[in-house]
Amino acid sequence: MQVKAISDPVHDYDTRLMYAYHMDLLSDHEQLAKLGGTPKLIGLEVPQSRAEWILPGEEYNKGSYWRVYGSELTFSINGVSHHFPIYSLISWRGEWYIVHLGPPTS
């Protein structure tokens, strides 16, 4: 399903969005490896005050959705809490999706 109102959304997804996601995951995995142990998910803090309703066309998208910046994933390793930032989440049709773990590169 096409959600971007741009000429080649598949190319954008494959070359920009997934590349950035991959690089963010590599960085997060490196940080986890330095901590040692097995991480246990504690939760995800989503700042409701930062949630915004995005109208069609505002971010080159075809439809409306909720967007929130600045969430934080909390996990523990060996009883010590750690955090990873989640740069942006979007929601439509009642489901939330991680869009960017770190700030977009372009």
**Alpha carbon separation from 103 to 21, 42, 86, 87, 106 (Å, rounded):** 10, 23, 9, 6, 9
CA distance 26 to 31: 9
Q: What is the dihedral of CA 64, 106, 46, 93, to 10 degrees?
A: 30
Does the pTM surpass 0.95? The reply is no
Q: Encode pLDDT of 41-85 as tens digits.
A: 999 999 999 999 999 988 878 889 999 999 999 999 999 999 999
Tell me whether residue 24 is exposed, middle or buried, using C-beta atoms within 10 angstroms of its C-beta: 0 to 12, 13 to 18, 19 or more: buried
